[in-house]
């Protein structure tokens, strides 16, 4: 009934797996089902235990299926990890036919030439995203089909990932008899969920600070220019608290959320909290300032590393819309203020934009930004002409699956 309008996003994160079912009508997404499971098979955004990852995915998918009352047979799945790299490149072809009208075929040709790059060792392309086309020197064109010209150029953003990391994720999903519509870089998915088009136009940095990874992306002129994943996030803060306060990891996680802050200066000297001790029943009293002094340096390190990546890539001064934070760790008290003070640029928590409704709690929490972004990715095909390209010729990633199936399944 509803089924043909349903899209599913699968976010396989370091702390949780989320399957989100969206019902799409007139470009609007209504969330009709959600399943969530704890994740134990990933480290720093990458699958390290296939069995445990499969059982988390199974649980999340079954829950989502029950809630939405649909059978999930294919998903858009997110990928992250420090094996991810991005490169910008361009390609040129000439239009030699007498009518000089640019066709779909010319688009395929020019995107293909732009893909001729030296890949990092043992890696594959995940995305080839055309940013703009240039026809006879005129730039800023998003869809040149039907235009007249003699020279067609394209600027692309290419995202690559390690073959093994991609394979392992694919194996987990496919072993549950679920097909993959597309693998989507998590920073790209999150950006579709929380950035406004005005911010993307002006220039903005998005940080998705999760449990195991911080995903960085930079947008300018409406398009993605830079993406990178660094392996430090919320779990590191929790670990620091475990060590610093000599407390069990579950307790550290709890007090981080309840009493933790990234701003030492915001805490009074006499504010105290009760903390469980390791192996004992007793609680001990700790000052909130001590907790903040554990958290703040880790947040500083994490944000500095991310900002350094942006600086090294040359975009530090090209982002007037500043910094947008999402992912679970963006909920940490004081993190927005801390970042604003440290870098002197506008900083805000990401909000889910118009066009998404249903299950309000989910839609509004930064923990689900990636899953929601995967649904948006699924419907916003026109922004990613690569997908058109995919369907016609089969992307490298599809070829990779075919190769994988041949070798591993006989």
Ligand X SMILES: Nc1ncnc2c1ncn2[C@@H]1O[C@H](COP(=O)(O)OP(=O)(O)OP(=O)(O)O)[C@@H](O)[C@H]1O
Pick the closer one to ligand X by CB: 114 or 332.
Answer: 332
Whose Cβ is closer to ligand X: residue 232's or residue 356's? 232
- Report the nearest approach of ligand X to the CB of residue 251 (Å): 12
Judged by CB, which is closer to Mg ion: 13, or 322? Answer: 13
x/- track of binding to Mg ion for residues 370-389 (CB under 5 A): x-------------------
Residue 115 binds which of ligand X, Mg ion, none (CB < 5-8 A, kind-dependent): none
Question: Choosing among Mg ion, ligand X, none, which partner's interface includes residue 256 (Cβ < 5 to 8 Å by kind)?
Answer: ligand X
Write down the least CB distance from residue 192 to Mg ion, Å.
Answer: 14
> Count of alpha carbons within 13 Å of 266, Cβ hemisphere only?
16
Output the CA angle 39-42-45, nearest 5 degrees.
110
**Residue 13 found at the interface with Mg ion (CB under 5 A):** yes
What residues contact residue 180 under an 8 Å CB cut-off, 6+ apart? 74, 75, 76, 77, 170, 173, 174, 401
Cβ 332 vs Cβ 211: under 8 Å: no
Nearest-approach distance from CB 327 to ligand X, in angstroms: 4
Given a contact cutoff of 8 angstroms between Cβ atoms, the answer to whether 76 and 9 are in contact is yes
- How does strand 204-209 pair with strand 323-326? parallel
Tokens 């779990």 belong to which residue?
A: 235
- With a CB cutoff of 8 Å and minimum separation 6, the contacts of 38 are 15, 16, 17, 56
Q: In the stretch 210-229, what mask flags binding to Mg ion with x, by CB under 5 A?
A: x-------------------
> Binds 91, which of ligand X, Mg ion, none (CB < 5 to 8 A, cut-off by type)?
none
CB half-sphere exposure, 84, CA atoms < 13 A: 31
Partner interacting with residue 330 (select from Mg ion, ligand X, none; CB below 5-8 Å by kind): none
Residue 331 binds which entry of Mg ion, ligand X, none, with Cβ cut-offs from 5 to 8 Å by kind?
ligand X
Residue 266 near residue 295 (C-beta atoms within 8 A): no
Using CB under 6 A, list all residues that contact ligand X: 13-16, 45, 80, 210-213, 233-235, 238, 253, 256-257, 327-329, 331-332, 367
Partner from ligand X, Mg ion, none binding residue 78, C-beta < 5-8 Å depending on class: none
Say which DSSP state 120 is in.
Answer: P
For ligand X, give the closer residue by CB, 151 or 351. Answer: 351
Residues binding Mg ion: number (CB under 5 A): 3
Task: Report how far residue 22's alpha carbon sits from residue 74's, in angstroms, rounded to the nearest whole number.
Answer: 13
User: Where does residue 344 fall: left (phi above 0), alpha (psi -120 to 50 degrees), or beta otherwise?
Assistant: left
Residue 211's binding partner among Mg ion, ligand X, none (Cβ under 5 to 8 angstroms by kind) is ligand X
Residues that bind Mg ion (CB under 5 A): 13, 210, 370
């Amino acid at each position: 009934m509803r089924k043909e309008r349903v899209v599913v996003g699968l976010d396989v994160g370091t702390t949780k797996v989320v399957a989100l079912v969206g019902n799409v009508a007139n470009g609007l997404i209504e969330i009709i089902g959600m399943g969530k499971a704890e994740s134990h098979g990933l480290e720093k955004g990458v699958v390290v235990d296939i069995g445990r990852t499969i059982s988390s995915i199974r649980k999340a998918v079954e829950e989502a299926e029950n809630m939405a009352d649909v059978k999930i047979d294919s998903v858009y799945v997110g990928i992250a990890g420090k094996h991810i790299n991005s490169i910008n490149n361009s390609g040129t072809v000439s239009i030699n036919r007498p009518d000089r009208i640019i066709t779909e075929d010319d688009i395929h040709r020019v995107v293909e030439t732009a893909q001729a790059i030296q890949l990092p060792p043992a890696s594959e392309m995940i995305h080839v995203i055309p940013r703009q086309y240039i026809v006879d020197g005129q730039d800023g064109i998003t869809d040149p089909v039907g235009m007249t010209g003699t020279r067609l150029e394209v600027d692309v953003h290419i995202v690559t990932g390690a073959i093994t990391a991609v394979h392992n994720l694919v194996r987990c999903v496919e072993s549950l008899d679920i097909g993959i519509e597309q693998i989507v870089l998590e920073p790209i998915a999150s950006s579709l969920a929380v950035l406004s088009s005005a911010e993307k136009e002006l220039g903005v940095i998005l940080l998705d600070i999760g449990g195991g990874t911080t995903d960085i992306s930079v947008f300018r002129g409406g398009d993605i220019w830079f993406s990178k994943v660094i392996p430090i996030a919320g779990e590191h803060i929790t670990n620091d608290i475990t060590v610093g306060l000599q407390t069990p990891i579950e307790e550290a996680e709890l007090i981080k959320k309840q009493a933790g802050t990234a701003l030492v200066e915001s805490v009074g000297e006499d504010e105290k909290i009760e903390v469980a001790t390791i192996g004992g029943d007793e609680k001990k009293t700790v000052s909130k300032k001590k907790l903040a002094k554990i958290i703040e340096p880790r947040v500083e390190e994490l944000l500095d590393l991310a900002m350094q990546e942006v600086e090294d890539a040359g975009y530090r001064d090209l982002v007037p819309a500043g910094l947008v934070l999402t992912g679970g760790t963006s909920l940490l008290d004081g993190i927005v203020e801390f970042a604003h003070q440290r870098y002197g640029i506008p900083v805000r928590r990401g909000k889910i934009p118009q066009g998404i409704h249903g299950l309000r709690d989910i839609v509004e929490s930064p923990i689900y930004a990636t899953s929601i972004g995967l649904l948006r990715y699924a419907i916003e095909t026109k922004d990613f002409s690569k997908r058109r390209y995919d369907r016609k010729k089969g992307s490298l990633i599809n070829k990779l699956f075919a190769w994988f199936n041949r070798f591993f399944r006989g």
